[in-house]
Chains A and B, each alone.
Chain A
Amino acid sequence: MKSVLLLLGISGTTPFLSGCWDRTEITDLAIVTAAAIDKKDNNQIELSIQVFIPSSISGGGGGQGGGSSQGGGAVTTLVRYENGSNISDALSKLQSKLPRKVFWGHCKIFVFGEKLAKEGIQEQLDFLLRHPQPREKANVYVSKGKAKPILESLPPLENYSGEVLRELSDLHIGMLVTMQDLDEMLTGIPQAAALPFVKILPPGKGQTKLQGIPYIVGTAVFKKDKMTGMMTEKETRGLLWLRDEVESYTVTIKPKGVKGKISLSPVSAKVKIIPQIINGKWKLLVRVNTDGSVIQNGTNLNLSNPKSLKAAERAYQKDIEKRIEMAFLNTQHKKADILGLGKDFYRKYPKQFNKIENQWNEVFSELEVEVDVAAHIRRQGYINKPAGLSEEEVKDK
């Protein structure tokens, strides 16, 4: 009994000896919500971080109400920046400007400046992947021009600009690339990557200068770790089709022989990419199976008529084919296999691929592509005939 008590006493006090060495109160943390990395002229980089200001949200501590004056546009974050030879150098300098410990655990947005992207991101990426705090699930972007203004913008709707980018990415309008994806793309065989390209939407009239929000305008194409070009918004859409990432998407088509346009949304699609080598010729078969529902019909076609429906479906199919081909040609033109097709070929034809591995980019740029789209219009909404047209005006046959 005695020894048990002694043992209990000793072991019971040991937790206190450690003195909570790694205890960090939440009030001692500078929670980074977004980070931007720019290249300066003198071969230095500039690290900017967007830090959340806890007292800006009138939470429980601030007493009741909060007051109506604290409406939208209240400053909830601050941006600090510092130069350095690399991120860790800049960060250590930055820490001396912040009274709280920098905490990366909730930083879900990393923006690379255009200049840095063109000169290579590998060195900076290493820090972000090696450091235990930043998340691999964080989204990565490339900004038009400098990246710092994106952090500095004060969006009217969301709490901070990082949140705007994250929400936009979640809508799958542009590419959604996490740090892990980026790492995989860069280390994979094709050694090409694509990152969403963002720029600031200029503020409307009457809004303050900083109230513009960042939005996704296209895709930055990387070869190795250097940005080599970019794709427009429309090409990006085609890219999303190829990557099978189409979600809540609107397609507007123009059927042959009639006036006006038909819009389909939401569109769902199943995309299958089949690599083929036929008679020594490298070929790619893209098989798309897509469904859409009509949300607007500006033509005089009665879509409950199978004949007119067929016409619309044909137009739909042509449109999708065109989008995909355009996007694919664009990537071929850039000689950057951002779709990771090299991996697909390698899986199916490992021997042949190993032979041409070093010239893969050339092979890729000469790849023949065949797009096979099966497009269907499944639903046409609550009404059959176009709204606001008399019986005679509707073309029934």
Chain B
Amino acid sequence: MGGLSLIRNVGKLLRKTKEKKSLIQSNYQDSKPADALDANFNLNVETLRSVYDNCSDVMFRSFLLFGKTRAMLIYIEGLSDVEGIEEYVLSPLMQESSKEPQPLNEFIEHKMPVPKVVKVNMLADCIESISSGNPILLYEGESDGFSLGLSKWEKRAIEEPMAEGGVRGSREGFIESLEVNTSQLRRIIKSPALKIQSMKIGTYTRTNVSIAYIDGLADKTLIEEITTRLERIKIDGILESEYIEEMIEDNPYSPFPQIMTTERPDVACSCLLEGRAVILVEGTPFTLIAPISFFSLIQSQEDYAQRFMAGTFIRWLRFIFMGLSLLLPSLYVAILTFHHEAVPTALLLSSAASRESVPFPAIVEALAMEITFEALREAGVRLPKQVGSAVSIVGALVIGQASVQAGLVSAPMVIVVAITGIASFMMPRYIAGIAFRMLRFPMMLLAGTLGLLGIMMGIIAIVIHLCSLRSFGVPYLTPLAPLKGQELKDVLWRAPWWMMDTRPRLTGDSNVYRQSSEQGPNPKRGSETE
């Protein structure tokens, strides 16, 4: 009874904190200024100065328009093109000798050599413009401000994606800048059907988030659903696309991701062409792709950049190693502790010989080795480059040789752990590999307590879970469950391109046909001339 009341109390506590959170959120929203700009130049300047109080990086540059009218240029140092401001704004506007053109706003809007001039009349828009690097020009006698498109800041050059390498295919990766990322999409898909909708999320970060899709391929209701889910997000800041992923996912309590991430424009574009939507987030090279199926996670762009036989072969290899990464240590443990008769005699004898001096039961040995391996891998990702080789040497020695020689670990176990480690790197999507790496541990426990029966139970549980998952309404195991024979061509093998005449069906009945189905080898005579 005590346990139950404890749970009830915890529940009450949770509810209380929820109420508090909603209070905090409403406070944040109130702080957003919603006033219009005033006709009084001085008042506007004062308001902006008070908004940017104690912001030493915000510059207020006051000058005289053509030597007469008082004017103020407001921008943030480092976000705006200072040379451009000097050359295209200040120098033509500060010429005292020339006559002041009339009307002044017409001149600024149409005759200034600046790429983009937008009239703004709300205080909030002014702040938005300044924060995103576009200087605001205010002058006496005008109730509107002018946002000048002169934003320019330092950004990383386009580089090869770090987490998704490949031998053949594009070497470009997304970067942290949203404009550059959308431009990369646009450079690949030039059709105006590529739509990019933007919104801002995060009360403090005001992060730009764009939804890209191809009009006519993506289901309209799907885009609406994504937009509404994105609009529901109330958060103080977005620092990585994962924040959004968790907020809009169908089932966040699953180890399997229902939204795919990629840092490759070509992967994003291939998904766009299949009618999926891509969510780009400012500040991270990782874009989100939804909806996906489980099999999207084990397809790599490399499959399509190679001959279809090679692609198929690699895909099958990946299927095998996906199973191994999940099951190999648990199978080894189960057979060594429960099913000794299931291995060939010679193998049993040699593994018996190697385990003779090992002081631990197989399950303990396997768990310890796997955890050590995971720790080593994590350390390898995190540690500074200078000490990288030291750790890998120590790791290899400790895990590999020394522990075997000391008789703490058997050699076959090292082999099993090593194969499992390699297998989990076979997954082209890092995040899917992690899911299997995590599930390996409960599987090992099941194997150590119930043997093959436990493994069977674990597999059944995982399959049931996978069947129950959905990604934006699309069953996670399509096209296997529900079975769609046509789409198996891109799951069980990688069909040659001239066979890929239909798109995978996600939600809705968007354009099904990708290309003409008569492009196989030996085209019919006459079809070419027509």
Flag if B351 contacts A106 (CB, 8 Å). Answer: no
Contacts of B345 in A (CB 8 A): 33, 106, 108
A-chain residues with CB within 8 Å of residue B451 when the two chains form the complex: 22
CB < 8 Å neighbour of A15 from B349, B353, B445: B445
**CA gap between A108 and B351 in the complex, in Å:** 18
Q: Does B85 contact A (CB under 8 A)?
A: no
Residues of B within 8 A of A103 (CB): 340
B355 and A54 contact, CB distance less than 8 A? yes
Closest to B361 in A: A25
- Among A150-165, those with CB < 8 Å from B are 159
Contact among B362, B412, B446, B449 with A60 in the assembled complex (CB-CB below 8 Å):
B412
Given the contacts A26-B362, A62-B357, A20 and B448 also touching, CB distance less than 8 Å: yes
B340 with A54: CB separation less than 8 A: no
Q: Give residues 294-339 of B contacting A (CB, 8 Å).
A: 336-338
In the bound assembly, the distance between CA atoms of A135 and B344 in angstroms comes to 13
Tell me the A63-117 residues at the B interface (CB within 8 Å). Answer: 63-64, 103, 105-106, 108
Does A23 belong to the interface (CB within 8 Å)? yes
- B340:A105 contact, CB within 8 angstroms: yes
B265 cross-chain contacts in A, Cβ below 8 A: none
Contact indicator A133/B341 (Cβ below 8 Å): yes
- B residues less than 8 Å from A26 (CB atoms): 336-337, 340, 348, 351-352, 355, 362
Select one of B340, B357, B404, B454 contacting A24, CB under 8 A: B340
Say whether A220 faces chain B, with CB atoms less than 8 Å apart.
no
Q: Is B350 an interface residue (CB 8 A)?
A: yes
- Quote the shortest CB–CB distance from B393 to chain A (angstroms): 19
> Do B338 and A24 have beta carbons less than 8 Å apart?
yes
Nearest CB in chain B to that of A106: its residue:
B345
* A397 interfacial contact with B, CB 8 Å: no
With contacts A15-B445, A16-B449, A25-B362 taken as known, whether A61 is within 8 angstroms of B355 at the C-beta atoms is yes
A52 and B407 contact, Cβ closer than 8 Å, known pairs A18-B449, A62-B357: no
Tell me if A23 and B349 are in contact (CB < 8 A): no
In the bound complex, residues from chain A placing their C-beta under 8 Å from that of B19 are none
Contacts of A54 in B (CB 8 A): 349, 352-353, 355-356
**A306 neighbours in B (Cβ, 8 Å):** none
Are A61 and B407 also in contact (CB < 8 A) when A16-B449, A24-B338, A29-B340 are? yes
* Nearest Cβ on chain A to B133's Cβ, whole angstroms: 45
Chain B residues whose C-beta falls within 8 Å of the C-beta of A133 in the assembled complex: 341
Instruction: Tell me which residues across on chain B come within 8 A of A135, comparing CB atoms.
Output: 341
Residues of A in contact (CB 8 Å), total 35
Q: Residue of B at shortest CB range from A135?
A: B341
A24-B337 CB under 8 A given contacts A54-B355, A60-B412, A61-B407: yes
Q: Which of B411, B412, B449 has the most CB of A within 10 A?
A: B449
Contact, CB under 8 Å: B449 / A57: no
B434-454 CB mask vs A (1 if < 8 Å, else 0) is: 000000000001101111001
- In angstroms, Cα B340 to Cα A55, docked, is 18
Task: Provide the A6-45 mask, 1 if CB < 8 A to any CB of B, else 0.
Answer: 1000000001101010111111010101000000000000
Within 8 A of A (CB), among B453-510: 454
A26 to B206, CA, bound (A): 61
Contact B354 A23 (CB under 8 A): no
Is A298 in the interface zone, CB < 8 Å from B? no
Interface residues of A in 222-243 (CB under 8 A from B): none
Please indicate the chain B residues that have their CB under 8 angstroms from the CB of A33 in the complex. 345
Chain A contacts for B449, CB-based, 8 A: 15-16, 18, 20, 23
Q: Is B410 an interface residue (CB 8 A)?
A: yes
Interface residue? B95 (CB, 8 A): no
Q: Which chain A residues border B454 with CB–CB below 8 Å? A: 15
B401 CB → nearest A CB, Å = 9
User: Number of residue pairs across A and B with beta carbons under 8 Å?
Assistant: 100
For chain B, what secondary structure do more than half of its interface residues adopt (helix, strand, loop), or is it mixed?
Answer: helix
A106→B341 contact, CB < 8 A: yes
Do A31 and B349 touch across chains, with their CB atoms under 8 A apart?
yes
B7 at the interface (CB under 8 A from A): yes
Q: Which residues of B contact A31 (CB under 8 A)?
A: 340, 348-349, 352
Asked if B405 is at the interface of the complex by the 8 Å CB criterion, the answer is: yes
Among residues of B, the one whose C-beta sits closest to the C-beta of A61 is B357
CB atoms of A15 and B356 under 8 A apart? no
B114 at the interface (CB under 8 A from A): no
B401's nearest neighbour on chain A, judged by CB, is: A64
Output the nearest chain A residue to B415 by Cβ-Cβ distance: A60
The reply on A203 being an interface residue by CB < 8 A is no
B11 sits at the interface (CB 8 A): yes
Write out the residue numbers on chain A whose beta carbons fall within 8 Å of the beta carbon of B7: 2, 5-6
- Give A26 to B349 CA distance when docked, in angstroms: 10
- Give chain B interface residues in 362-407, CB to chain A under 8 Å: 362, 404-405, 407
Kindly state whether residue A59 has any CB partner on chain B within 8 Å: yes
Tell me if B358 is interfacial: C-beta within 8 Å of chain A. yes
In the complex, what residues of B have CB within 8 A of residue A61's CB?
Answer: 353-358, 404, 407, 410-411
**With the chains together, A24 CA to B352 CA distance in Å?**
12
A59: B residues at CB distance < 8 A: 350, 353-354, 356, 411
Within 8 Å by CB of A2, from B11, B407, B411, B412, lies B11
Nearest chain A CB to B494's CB is how many angstroms away?
39
> Which one of B7, B336, B349, B358 has the greatest number of beta carbons of chain A within 10 Å?
B349
Q: Which residues of A contact B336 (CB under 8 A)?
A: 25-26
**Contact indicator A29/B410 (Cβ below 8 Å):** no
Could you tell me if A55 and B448 are in contact, using CB atoms closer than 8 angstroms?
A: no
Across the A-B interface, the 7 shortest Cβ-Cβ residue pairs: A60-B411, A105-B341, A59-B353, A61-B357, A60-B354, A57-B353, A59-B354
**B residues touching A (Cβ–Cβ < 8 Å)?**
7, 11, 336-338, 340-341, 345, 348-358, 361-362, 404-405, 407, 410-412, 445-446, 448-451, 454
9 contacts between A and B (CB under 8 A): A2-B7, A15-B446, A26-B352, A26-B355, A56-B353, A57-B349, A57-B353, A59-B356, A61-B410
Q: Apart from A15-B446, A16-B449, A18-B449, what 17 extra A-B contacts exist at CB < 8 Å?
A: A2-B11, A15-B454, A24-B338, A27-B355, A31-B352, A54-B352, A54-B355, A54-B356, A55-B353, A57-B349, A59-B356, A60-B354, A60-B411, A61-B356, A61-B407, A62-B357, A105-B341
